[in-house]
A and B are shown apart, each in its own frame.
Chain A
Amino acid sequence: MRIAALEVEGVRNLAPLVLSPSPRFNVFVGDNGQGKTNLLESIYVAATLRSFRTTRLAEIIQFGAPGARIRARVERGGLTRLYDVTIGPHSRQVRLDGKAPRPVSRYFGDLNVVLFAPEDLHLPRGAPADRRRFLDRAVFNRRGEHLTVVADYDKALRSRNALLREAAAGRRTKGIGDQLAVWDEQVATLGARVIAHRRAYLAELRGPVQAAFDAIARAGKPADVTYASAAPEIAAAADADLPAALRAALAATQARDLARGSTSVGPHRDDLAFGFDGHEAAAVASQGQLRALVLAWKTAEIDLLERVHGEPPILLLDDVSSELDPQRNRYLFEYLAERQGQCFITTTHAGFVLLDRNRVDHQVRDGRIV
């Protein structure tokens, strides 16, 4: 699949832009703050209706502009589809081939983008919440329904927490047991699906990540990625027993949860564990090995999507080269040169992008792309 035409208007500092991207490598060169990432963000929003930088989509609207509009003409398997997103201060309008998709989840599926950003390289030593988001984003690319399940789980969880706080404050105590039981059930059922999706994804990705890591790091020691549930009874449960295990865990921690006004077990407390040589990678691996591990994850993720969807996903590489040492940077571009598919690459120095064929370079200055 590839973006054949892109139109962006009213997004952050970008001047209105019309672009006919190359089917292979599109390199955007510019200093920091010129608008390179804003361009990748626009593509990402067109594909996922989310931003990777903010949870409030309206933040991408240019200062003083009434709204933002992103249109992408996408060619896939001989078919052309038009993705069209308009974002207002309090609204979001989505059109696919000129029509509003109902439900909006129909919008997803045909335009797969994979983002690789410098922040990703810091994940093994970063916060668990960032790793969960990173994992969920990958799972969503693999199976679109994960987005709905995660959103529903999040709502059920926030509802339960709101109820816990009300109960702790002495309000709504009448029949609180029945009310809590209902939200426990929702959290357990939806939480079990979130965990099952994440586990299934890791089961697919684990082997390829290990193989890619061996090829990149040549460390002679194995790396690993696993799903780590904080509660042992949840970690031990088979997928089919997850709802029951979550239900039991929620019941066991209810007194504590009531006291602190929040839910202490569930997939929102789990983690994506990066391992190296049998230990937690963040503790024992070098900086370079950790980055090789994330790079291995990303290449495995891309390969998996290509296998699943039958077409290479569109890659968004946001200034990753500045964070990789020369040897791993070379590996990344050798990998990219060998595979098919369209890439959008930003960089501060054209020389970082080690591609000598099929590339079209653009300069980005002050929100303008030339």
Chain B
Amino acid sequence: MADPVQRLAHELARLPGIGEKTATRLAFHLVRASAEQVRNLAAALVDLVEQTRLCSSCMNVTDDDPCAMCRDTRRDRETLCVVATPSDLVAIDRGGHFSGRYHVLHGLLSPLDGVGPEDLRIAELLRRLGPGDGTSPPVREVIIATSPSVEGEATAMYLARLIKPLGVTVSRIATGLPIGGEIEYSDQATLARALAHRSHL
């Protein structure tokens, strides 16, 4: 293998979900691709490191600070949805059912991996809930949208402990059966959860 091809394959193989075989195939594909296509890809990669940063308000990845969502005046300023990662934010926003603003933690509490509160964007979240400068209405509700895993639950509970004393309502997204799901095919943990979190009709 020529050295540049090998180098590229090596770098590609470090990406999540890409093994050595796929990396090699991609590298050889790019050798044969048009020079323009490859230059565009390279430019996009360079822009990624040079032009993105974290929004100083919501901590999402952006090329403009504050980000477009934080600047959007049609978005409800009184409701914040807290997510673990930028990709969680994308998943929730795609549906268009949430019109408030977001806050990205960039991880979940996990003592086993050495991740504590100071490793997450929690201080930045609390700052957003403070009295502010009076120019924008205060946040009234924080919706915690972390996964229903052990770490996700612990992080939600931790945030609730910090936020409730500030007089802000804290809520947690529901867990249970997926829409279009069949009860008979649901796993028992999900069913148990759905029963425990049933709602009145």
Q: Are B157 and A186 in contact (CB under 8 A)?
A: yes
The listed residue (A109, A152, A174) touching B118 by CB distance below 8 A is: A174
Q: Which of A143-151, A293-301, A308-316, A322-330 touches B?
A: A143-151
In the complex, the chain A residue whose C-beta lies closest to that of B116 is A172
Q: Are B189 and A160 in contact (CB under 8 A)?
A: no
Q: Are B187 and A182 in contact (CB under 8 A)?
A: no
Q: Are B187 and A159 in contact (CB under 8 A)?
A: no
The listed residue (B112, B114, B116, B118) touching A158 by CB distance below 8 A is: B112
- In chain A, positions 110-168 with a C-beta closer than 8 Å to chain B are 143-145, 148-149, 152, 155-156, 158-160, 162-163, 166
Identify 4 new A-B residue pairs, CB closer than 8 A, beyond the known A145-B187, A159-B151, A186-B150: A105-B187, A143-B188, A172-B118, A186-B154
The answer, yes or no, to whether B192 is at the interface (CB within 8 Å) is yes
In the complex, the chain A residue whose C-beta lies closest to that of B153 is A186
A contact residues around B41 at 8 Å (CB): none
The answer, yes or no, to whether B162 is at the interface (CB within 8 Å) is yes
B contact residues around A156 at 8 Å (CB): 150, 154
In the complex, the chain A residue whose C-beta lies closest to that of B110 is A159
- In chain A, positions 186-219 with a C-beta closer than 8 Å to chain B are 186, 190
How many A-B pairs have beta carbons closer than 8 Å: the answer is: 64
The answer, yes or no, to whether B111 is at the interface (CB within 8 Å) is yes
The answer, yes or no, to whether B117 is at the interface (CB within 8 Å) is yes
* A172–B111 CA distance with the chains assembled, in angstroms: 10
Question: Chain B binding site: helix, strand, loop or mixed by DSSP?
Answer: helix
The answer, yes or no, to whether A183 is at the interface (CB within 8 Å) is yes
* A174–B162 CA distance with the chains assembled, in angstroms: 13
Shortest C-beta distance, A164 to chain B (Å), equals 9
- Of B116, B161, B188, the most chain A CB neighbours within 10 A belong to B188
The answer, yes or no, to whether A185 is at the interface (CB within 8 Å) is yes
The answer, yes or no, to whether A20 is at the interface (CB within 8 Å) is no
* A218–B180 CA distance with the chains assembled, in angstroms: 56
* A190–B189 CA distance with the chains assembled, in angstroms: 12
Q: Are A159 and B150 in contact (CB under 8 A)?
A: yes
Interface string of B154-191 (1 = CB under 8 A from A): 10011001100000000000000000000001011110
B contact residues around A148 at 8 Å (CB): 189
Q: Are B158 and A162 in contact (CB under 8 A)?
A: no
* A172–B114 CA distance with the chains assembled, in angstroms: 10
The answer, yes or no, to whether A284 is at the interface (CB within 8 Å) is no
The listed residue (B114, B161, B185) touching A182 by CB distance below 8 A is: B161
Given contacts A159-B154, A182-B109, is CB(A106)–CB(B161) below 8 Å?
no
Q: Are A178 and B161 in contact (CB under 8 A)?
A: yes
Shortest C-beta distance, B139 to chain A (Å), equals 20
Q: Are A162 and B112 in contact (CB under 8 A)?
A: yes
* A303–B109 CA distance with the chains assembled, in angstroms: 44
Q: Are B117 and A145 in contact (CB under 8 A)?
A: no
The answer, yes or no, to whether A181 is at the interface (CB within 8 Å) is yes
Q: List 18 contacting pairs A-B, 8 Å CB cutoff, sorted by A.
A: A105-B187, A109-B188, A144-B187, A145-B189, A148-B189, A155-B112, A155-B150, A159-B110, A160-B111, A162-B111, A174-B117, A178-B158, A178-B161, A179-B116, A179-B158, A182-B157, A182-B161, A186-B154
Shortest C-beta distance, A70 to chain B (Å), equals 22
A contact residues around B114 at 8 Å (CB): 162
B contact residues around A183 at 8 Å (CB): 111, 154
The answer, yes or no, to whether A103 is at the interface (CB within 8 Å) is yes
A contact residues around B185 at 8 Å (CB): 106
Question: Chain A binding site: helix, strand, loop or mixed by DSSP?
Answer: helix
Shortest C-beta distance, B165 to chain A (Å), equals 11
Q: Are B189 and A105 in contact (CB under 8 A)?
A: yes
A contact residues around B162 at 8 Å (CB): 178
Given contacts A144-B188, A178-B161, A182-B161, is CB(A152)–CB(B109) below 8 Å?
no
The answer, yes or no, to whether A66 is at the interface (CB within 8 Å) is no
* A56–B185 CA distance with the chains assembled, in angstroms: 29
Shortest C-beta distance, A127 to chain B (Å), equals 25
Given contacts A105-B188, A106-B187, is CB(A181)–CB(B150) below 8 Å?
no
The answer, yes or no, to whether A77 is at the interface (CB within 8 Å) is no
In the complex, the chain A residue whose C-beta lies closest to that of B158 is A182
B contact residues around A106 at 8 Å (CB): 185, 187
In the complex, the chain B residue whose C-beta lies closest to that of A190 is B150
The answer, yes or no, to whether A170 is at the interface (CB within 8 Å) is no
The answer, yes or no, to whether A175 is at the interface (CB within 8 Å) is yes
In the complex, the chain A residue whose C-beta lies closest to that of B162 is A178
Shortest C-beta distance, B17 to chain A (Å), equals 13
* A199–B188 CA distance with the chains assembled, in angstroms: 19
Q: Which 9 A-B pairs have the closest CB atoms?
A: A145-B188, A162-B111, A105-B187, A163-B111, A159-B111, A182-B158, A148-B189, A182-B157, A155-B150
A contact residues around B117 at 8 Å (CB): 174-175, 179
Shortest C-beta distance, B197 to chain A (Å), equals 13
B contact residues around A158 at 8 Å (CB): 112
* A162–B117 CA distance with the chains assembled, in angstroms: 14
In the complex, the chain A residue whose C-beta lies closest to that of B119 is A172
Shortest C-beta distance, A243 to chain B (Å), equals 12
